[in-house]
A and B are shown apart, each in its own frame.
Chain A
Amino acid sequence: MVYDQKVGCTRRSHNDSSKTTEATYCPVGQAHVICMVSDFFYPNMGGVESHIYQLSQCLIGRGHKVIIVTHAYEDRKGIRYLTNGLKVYYLPLTVMYNQSTATTLLHSLPLLRNIFVRERVNIVHSHSSFSAMAHDALFHAKTMGLHTVFTDHSLFGFADVSSVLTNKLLTVSLCDTNHIICVSYTSKENTVLRAALNPEIVSVIPNAVDPTDFTPDPQKIRTNKITVVVVSRLVYRKGIDLLGGIIPEMCHRYPDLHFLVGGEGPKRIILEEVRERYQLHDRVRLLGALEHRQVRNVLVEGDIFLNTSLTEAFCMAIVEAASCGLQVVSTRVGGIPEVLPEDFIILCEPSVKSLCDGLEKAIDQLKSGNLPSPEAIHNTVQSFYTWKNVAERTEKVYDRVSNETVLPMNERLERLISHCGVVTGSIFALFVVATFLFLMFLRWNTPDSLIDIAVDATGPKGAWSHKYSCKKSRKTMANAKSGSSLK
């Protein structure tokens, strides 16, 4: 059922996108002012960072005003402008651990309030459950009566002490948040269970792949040699033990079969052992750790992509491989069956025998030559997970959220105590009251009317889009000088 929903969604958006490919600026019914908050943003590199950046760019293209708030990275502090007038606030907050800021739930309120007021933010969108700043911003936004959205990018366990604690904090943080977004249905299940949420307020919006990064190689010459590519971290969770069983089996059956393995990890020793024992040095190449930009060049060297994961929330690797025009063989676990339609993927049980059968089927198809060309596969897959589609669906969440009411103070306290347990609930209810009093004090000390309204760089009245108004463009240009070095 989950799969059906997903396919329906993808198809519809595919039709939408084919209609509006020409228009870069789509007029929207309701323009929102969105503030993305996360501890993780460029110059730090990673999935969350690029997600925030790409999503913001697409939302700007759709006519919304977007700003990003993160903490200062060494000398990168203050206010910067990125491409298309995306404004980033690098706030001087202390970093505690692993690029996450220290939190007291109080000290960041004056600065965040100032930003929310001067930018006239109406939706605060926090990212990543590891980011303390994201939770702080959610907390303050709710106190100030703004709409809140949260995106969870990771899966958690339930068993050990640290995950029990983080799950409790997540319950507190999300119990009065308007809407939550997860990257796959598996991740949704996980989040709903961890934070004891009502599943109706949790949406699934997958990540996207930049189709221009993952393209097939047009210069590739077809030979008799068949290459199977594996790109993953070499850990137990990725099923490397299975791979160790598959390699000798398949090499025995097909003399022209080669394996190309990218990635590093503790299970590398298994593959090396296999290579030694069966004398496969010329047929199994281990490439070691790969950078993200190298992945495409490795993928296009192969014909078949093999994924042996034992558990997976949303497998980005198989989408990237399919986008490069490869035939995908994968295990049927976690969220993987959701990801690609059946004619692009061969699903197997996580066992050596089943995976060998799957590979055999893929090789037969390849040899018989009745497969669509890599370009055809690329063209179909590139429409599945586009940032444009992600932005459209996120926009729907914003539309829905902005029509909801933010819980007033008394209901919020009741919700906390009834939802999070008496002890935790009461402690955080005290914090809520303290923040509220602090906010009252700040409002008395510097009334909203004394805070200058910022000049919009993006959005319906964005200075960035009206370049001919001399004053504003000069001002933003000077500000952007330092920021432009980034992109």
Chain B
Amino acid sequence: MEGKVYSDIHGEEIRLQQHSYSDTCQEFTVIRPKISFRSLTGCTCAVWLAAYGVFYYTQHSAVLSAAILCTILGLLLYLHLVKIDQESLLLLGSLGLQKSLTFASGRESTVFLEMCRVQDVIINEAISMSRVHYNLCILLRDPADPQGPSQVIPVFQGSQPRLECLVEIYRSCQEILSKRSQ
């Protein structure tokens, strides 16, 4: 798999792939590592061992079936709703911006923003939980009120790349956006 290797804010390795289709059309894809077999086994074993512990005291077999159901359901929900495999941002200079998320289960969620609504792409600083980090944001403008941004949409929220990677994406985005205004 080609692409530059960066790290996210938790120290995990992520890959940035940059496809250039034309001068004004680029796609940035951040690929996160696949779910590791070891952590999957670890979690399952932990749940089951705990279930066995409870079963040992209560002697109720429903505990075991509940544990199995929990693991399976938990895994399904995790893959479908939480675990993000890749995140991408497609920039079409004349048309708009599309950000999409691909979950580990294969589910995709896509948002498209028309170019007339996009004001700018910026790197912003935010406080979340107990850390302060940078993220890439799209500034939207309200067509009714051309002065000032109306909404801020963060991108790459699932993969949370570090500043180095964001700057790389930011530069390319700005190149395309500056061509738009000419």
Inter-chain contacts of B125 with A (CB < 8 A)? 78-79, 454, 479
Contact string, B1-15, partner A, CB cutoff 8 A, digits 1/0?
000000101110000
Inter-chain contacts of A447 with B (CB < 8 A)? 11
**B133 pairs with A452, CB closer than 8 A:** yes
Q: Which of A89, A450, A478 contacts B10 (CB 8 A)?
A: A450
Residue A94 is within 8 A (CB to CB) of chain B in the complex: no
CA distance A454 to B132 in the complex (A): 10
CA distance A416 to B17 in the complex (A): 55
Contact string, B147-182, partner A, CB cutoff 8 A, digits 1/0?
011000000000000110001001100100000000
CA distance A474 to B174 in the complex (A): 10
CA distance A92 to B167 in the complex (A): 27
Contact string, A468-481, partner B, CB cutoff 8 A, digits 1/0?
00110011001101
Inter-chain contacts of A470 with B (CB < 8 A)? 174
Q: Which of A78, A114, A481 contacts B131 (CB 8 A)?
A: A114
Inter-chain contacts of A77 with B (CB < 8 A)? 127
**A91 pairs with B127, CB closer than 8 A:** yes
CA distance A474 to B124 in the complex (A): 11
Q: A77-B127, A78-B127, A452-B9 are in contact. Are A118 and B132 (CB under 8 A)?
A: yes
**A89 pairs with B132, CB closer than 8 A:** yes
**Nearest B-chain residue to A115, judged by Cβ:** B132
Residue A164 is within 8 A (CB to CB) of chain B in the complex: no
Inter-chain contacts of A114 with B (CB < 8 A)? 130-132
Inter-chain contacts of B131 with A (CB < 8 A)? 110-111, 114, 446, 451
Contact string, B122-148, partner A, CB cutoff 8 A, digits 1/0?
111111001111100001000000001
**Nearest A-chain residue to B124, judged by Cβ:** A479
B67 to chain A, nearest CB (A): 29
Contact string, A89-112, partner B, CB cutoff 8 A, digits 1/0?
101100000000000000000110
Which A residues between 407 and 454 are near B, CB-CB below 8 angstroms?
446-447, 450-454
CA distance A415 to B170 in the complex (A): 51
**A478 pairs with B127, CB closer than 8 A:** no
Q: Which of B130, B162, B171 contacts A452 (CB 8 A)?
A: B162
Which B residues between 98 and 139 are near A, CB-CB below 8 angstroms?
120, 122-127, 130-134, 139
A436 to chain B, nearest CB (A): 18
Total inter-chain residue pairs, C-beta < 8 Å: 62
Inter-chain contacts of B126 with A (CB < 8 A)? 78-79
Inter-chain contacts of A118 with B (CB < 8 A)? 132
**Nearest A-chain residue to B11, judged by Cβ:** A450
A260 to chain B, nearest CB (A): 46
CA distance A200 to B59 in the complex (A): 72
Inter-chain contacts of A475 with B (CB < 8 A)? 122-124
CA distance A115 to B127 in the complex (A): 10
**B170 pairs with A471, CB closer than 8 A:** yes
CA distance A79 to B139 in the complex (A): 17
**Nearest B-chain residue to A470, judged by Cβ:** B174
A483 to chain B, nearest CB (A): 12
**A478 pairs with B132, CB closer than 8 A:** no
CA distance A465 to B125 in the complex (A): 20
A140 to chain B, nearest CB (A): 13
B82 to chain A, nearest CB (A): 20
Inter-chain contacts of A115 with B (CB < 8 A)? 132
CA distance A79 to B9 in the complex (A): 19
**B122 pairs with A471, CB closer than 8 A:** no
Which B residues between 10 and 41 are near A, CB-CB below 8 angstroms?
10-11
CA distance A450 to B163 in the complex (A): 11
**Nearest B-chain residue to A453, judged by Cβ:** B163
**Nearest A-chain residue to B132, judged by Cβ:** A114
CA distance A471 to B177 in the complex (A): 13
B167 to chain A, nearest CB (A): 8
Q: A79-B127, A471-B174 are in contact. Are A452 and B134 (CB under 8 A)?
A: yes
CA distance A110 to B7 in the complex (A): 21
A339 to chain B, nearest CB (A): 42
CA distance A114 to B11 in the complex (A): 15
**A111 pairs with B132, CB closer than 8 A:** yes
**Nearest A-chain residue to B137, judged by Cβ:** A478
CA distance A91 to B129 in the complex (A): 10
**B122 pairs with A478, CB closer than 8 A:** yes
Candidate in B124, B127, B133, B162 with the most chain A CB atoms within 10 angstroms: B127
A484 to chain B, nearest CB (A): 11
Q: A118-B132, A452-B134 are in contact. Are A89 and B9 (CB under 8 A)?
A: no
7 closest cross-chain pairs (CB), A and B: A110-B130, A452-B163, A478-B122, A79-B125, A111-B130, A114-B131, A450-B11
Interface residues of A (CB under 8 A from B): 77-79, 89, 91-92, 110-111, 114-115, 118, 446-447, 450-454, 470-471, 474-475, 478-479, 481
Of the A-B pairs whose beta carbons lie under 8 Å apart in the complex, a sample of 7, sorted by A's number, is A79-B132, A114-B131, A114-B132, A446-B131, A450-B7, A454-B125, A481-B149
Supply 17 further A-B pairs (C-beta < 8 A) apart from A78-B127, A454-B125. A78-B126, A79-B125, A110-B130, A110-B131, A111-B127, A111-B130, A111-B132, A115-B132, A118-B132, A450-B162, A452-B133, A452-B134, A471-B171, A471-B174, A478-B124, A478-B139, A479-B124
